[in-house]
Structure 1
Amino acid sequence: MSAAVEAPGAPGTPSDTIEKRHVTQVGWKAAGGLIVVGALFALLLVTVPREGDTRFALSRDADAIQIPVLEIPAMPLAWACLVIMALVAAFSVVRTQANRRTPIWVIVVFGVVFLVGFLAWAGAGSSGTLPIVSLLSGSLLAAVPLIYGSLSGVIGERSGVINIAIEGQMLAAAFTGAIAGSITGSPFAGVLAALLAGVLVALVLALFTVTHRVNQIIVGVVLNVLVLGLTSFFYSQVLVPNAATLNSAPRFSTWTIPLLNDIPVIGPVLFDQAPLIYLMYLVVAGVWFALYRTRWGLRLRAVGEHPKAADTVGVNVEGTRYRALLIGGACAGLGGAFYTTVAVGQFGLNMTAGAGFIALAAMIFGKWDPLRAAMAGLLFGFALNLQSILGVVGEVVPSQFMLMLPYVVTLFAVAGLVGRSRPPAANGQPYVKG
Structure 2
Amino acid sequence: MNEILDAITRALAFGTPLLFASLGAIVNERAGVVNLGVEGMMAIGALTGFAVAYGGGMGGNLWLAALAAMLVGALAALLHAFVAITMRANQFVSGLALTLLGLGLAGLLGKSLEGQVLPPNVGDAAQKLLISWGKFQVGSLTLLAIGLAVLLAFVLQFTRVGLTLRSVGENPAAADVLGLNVGMVRYVAVAVGGALAGLAGAYLSLVYRPSWTDGMTAGLGWIAVALVIFVGWSPLRAIFGAVFFGLLYYLQFRLQGQSPVPTEVFSAMPYLLVIVVLGVAGLRGQQGSAPEALGRPYTRGER
TM-score (norm 1): 0.64
Find the counterpart in structure 1 of residue 101 from structure 2.
226
Query: Is 2:122 the counterpart of 1:252?
Result: no
Q: Distance in 2 between matches of 1:133 and 1:337?
A: 25
Q: Distance in 2 between matches of 1:285 and 1:222?
A: 32
Find the counterpart in structure 1 of residue 157 from structure 2.
292
Find the counterpart in structure 2 of residue 317 from structure 1.
182
- Give the Å deviation of 1:256: 6.0
The number of residue pairs the alignment matches comes to: 294
Find the counterpart in structure 2 of residue 427 from structure 1.
294
Residue type of the partner of 2:102?
V
Q: What's the % identity of the aligned pairs?
A: 34
RMSD of aligned residue pairs (Cα, Å): 2.2
Which of 178, 189, 199 is the matching residue for 2:64? 189
Query: Is 2:253 the counterpart of 1:388?
Result: yes
Deviation by residue 1:185-223 (Cα, 9 ceiling, x = unmatched): 321221111111111111111111111111101110011
Residue type of the partner of 1:230?
L
- The 3-state SS of whatever aligns with 1:414 is helix
- The 3-state SS of whatever aligns with 1:429 is coil
| 8 Å Cα contact 2:114-2:213 kept in structure 1 | no
| 8 Å Cα contact 1:249-1:340 kept in structure 2 | no
Find the counterpart in structure 2 of residue 39 from structure 1.
none
| 8 Å Cα contact 1:254-1:273 kept in structure 2 | no
Residue type of the partner of 1:218?
V
Find the counterpart in structure 2 of residue 6 from structure 1.
none
Largest Rg, 1 or 2: 1
CA change 1:218–1:357 in 2 (3 A) is same
CA change 1:245–1:405 in 2 (3 A) is closer
Query: Is 2:7 the counterpart of 1:135?
Result: yes
Q: Distance in 2 between matches of 1:179 and 1:279?
A: 23
Q: Distance in 2 between matches of 1:208 and 1:417?
A: 30
Q: Distance in 1 between matches of 2:117 and 2:265?
A: 36
Q: What does 1:22-421 align with in structure 2 at a 5 Å threshold?
A: 58-59=1-2, 131-182=3-54, 183=56, 184=58, 185-236=60-111, 238-240=112-114, 243=116, 250=123, 252-255=126-129, 261-262=133-134, 268=136, 272-391=137-256, 394-417=258-281, 419-421=284-286
- Give the Å deviation of 1:374: 2.3
Q: Distance in 1 between matches of 2:131 and 2:47?
A: 30
- Give the Å deviation of 1:287: 1.0
Residue type of the partner of 2:22?
S
CA change 1:417–1:305 in 2 (3 A) is closer
Deviation by residue 1:392-428 (Cα, 9 ceiling, x = unmatched): 8x22432111010001111101112552122111011
CA change 1:302–1:174 in 2 (3 A) is same
Segment of structure 1 superposing worse, 185-194 or 287-296:
185-194
CA change 1:274–1:257 in 2 (3 A) is closer
Higher relative contact order (CA 8 A, sep 6+): 2
- Give the Å deviation of 1:255: 5.0
Residue type of the partner of 1:217?
F
- Give the Å deviation of 1:373: 2.1
**Of Structure 1 and Structure 2, which has the larger fraction of its residues in helix?**
2
Gaps of 5+ in 1: 1-57, 60-130
Gaps of 5+ in 2: none
Deviation by residue 1:26-71 (Cα, 9 ceiling, x = unmatched): xxxxxxxxxxxxxxxxxxxxxxxxxxxxxxxx13xxxxxxxxxxxx
Deviation by residue 1:296-354 (Cα, 9 ceiling, x = unmatched): 10011011010000110111101110111111112112211111111111211111011
Residue type of the partner of 1:200?
L
- Give the Å deviation of 1:356: 0.6
Q: Runs of 4 or more off by more than 6 Å in structure 1?
A: none
Find the counterpart in structure 2 of residue 22 from structure 1.
none
Q: Distance in 2 between matches of 1:290 and 1:336?
A: 25
